[in-house]
């Protein structure tokens, strides 16, 4: 199960107006992404408002995605938590729910050092036989992986098989690629850096932009793999990067839900305290998606 590659969308979590999980919309979203041709699914991501889901809700989201995917694509379940014991509990529940692999973001809010990070992931790895992807998002978690810590985890635990990098630091990413075993999977978390990362040796992208428009990301990936760098570059520069940039407006991840709505799919609303886009922000996103011909017809 180390052949993890391609475009693996981190899923937004649809919420109804009352803040409850909109299961039907989540199932429909899984159907849409699978039909588009994605290579896997990642529920329980930061874009899925992970930090605003309790453990029971996270288990419910994972089970819903596993059930709906029904083996057609692998499901890599997010099991991150601020505390190590909670992350271990989430790991066990995701394993029991039938996930094919796990994605564990670094602890957030609580401060630790590299020894603490190593211990955190050692406990997660010991709690399951499933493959584990580390998840590096220092801007949101306040935790920065040292390259040596990632390399040590990759060599010490057979089931620590890769990393999702949302740091935006390609120099750091290239060091990860150069200092981990050849089979260690490196996945880019930012849509704007998909093609540069593939050129560096990345195995794919786990980018929230796919919630709105998976096809351009798939085109970049497939064109690059086919050796058509001109096509990959054109799609990256003309579509993927401007869309990825536009979706970072407002309070993360509100713009992704608004973008999906403009593309013709209802993925609900953000859960408080995240605020919906302002009128000016909605207008700006509409203009960009119109220019990119990504608005729903009619």
Longest dimension (CA), the chain: 55
CA–CA separation, 118 and 157 (whole Å): 11
Q: 55-69 and 23-36 are packed helices; what angle lies between their axes, rounded to 10 degrees?
A: 40
The residue annotated as part of the active site, out of 164, 186, 224, 257, is 164
Q: Which two tokens stand for residue 217?
A: 């990301």
> Are 176 and 167 within 8 A, CB to CB?
no
Q: Which two tokens stand for residue 168?
A: 């935006």
CA–CA separation, 268 and 18 (whole Å): 10
- Count the helix, strand and coil residues of the chain and give each as a percent rounded to the nearest 5: 50, 10, 40
DSSP letter for 268, please. Answer: B
Whether 186 is catalytic is no
> Are 14 and 21 within 8 A, CB to CB?
yes
CA distances from 7 to 1, 161, 197, 222, 240 (A): 16, 17, 13, 10, 13
Q: CB under 8 Å to 77, separation ≥6 — which residues?
A: 42, 43, 44, 62, 65, 66, 94, 97, 99, 101, 102, 103
Per the listing, tokens 């401060």 go with: 111
Whether 221 is catalytic is no
The residue annotated as part of the active site, out of 76, 118, 121, 135, is 135
- H/E stretch holding 150: helix 147-156
Q: Please list the active-site residues.
A: 135, 164
């Amino acid at each position: 199960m180390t052949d993890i590659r391609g475009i693996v969308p981190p899923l937004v979590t649809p919420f109804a107006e009352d803040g409850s999980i909109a299961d039907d919309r989540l199932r429909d979203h899984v159907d849409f992404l699978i039909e588009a041709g994605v290579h896997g699914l990642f529920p329980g991501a930061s874009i899925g408002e992970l930090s605003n889901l309790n453990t029971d809700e996270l288990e419910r989201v994972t089970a819903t995605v596993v059930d709906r995917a029904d083996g057609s694509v692998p499901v890599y379940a997010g099991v991150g938590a601020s505390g190590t014991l909670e992350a271990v509990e989430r790991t066990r529940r995701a394993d029991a729910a039938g996930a094919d692999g796990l994605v564990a973001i670094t602890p957030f809010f609580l401060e630790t050092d590299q020894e603490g990070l190593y211990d955190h992931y050692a406990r997660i790895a010991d709690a399951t036989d499933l493959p584990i992807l580390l998840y590096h998002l220092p801007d949101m978690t306040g935790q920065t992986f040292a390259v040596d810590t990632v390399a040590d985890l990759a060599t010490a635990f057979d089931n620590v098989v890769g990393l999702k990098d949302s740091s935006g630091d390609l120099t750091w990413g290239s060091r990860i690629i150069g200092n981990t075993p050849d089979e260690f999977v490196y996945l880019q978390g930012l849509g704007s850096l998909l093609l540069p990362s593939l050129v560096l040796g990345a195995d794919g992208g786990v980018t929230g932009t796919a919630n709105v428009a998976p096809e351009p990301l798939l085109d970049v990936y497939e064109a690059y793999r086919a050796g058509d760098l001109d096509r990959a570059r054109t799609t990256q520069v003309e579509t993927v990067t401007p869309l990825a940039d536009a979706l970072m407006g407002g309070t993360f991840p509100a713009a992704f839900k608004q973008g999906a709505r403009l593309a013709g799919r209802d993925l609900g609303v953000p859960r408080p305290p995240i605020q919906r886009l302002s009128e000016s922000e909605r207008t700006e996103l509409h203009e960009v998606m119109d220019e990119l011909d990504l608005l729903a017809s009619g």
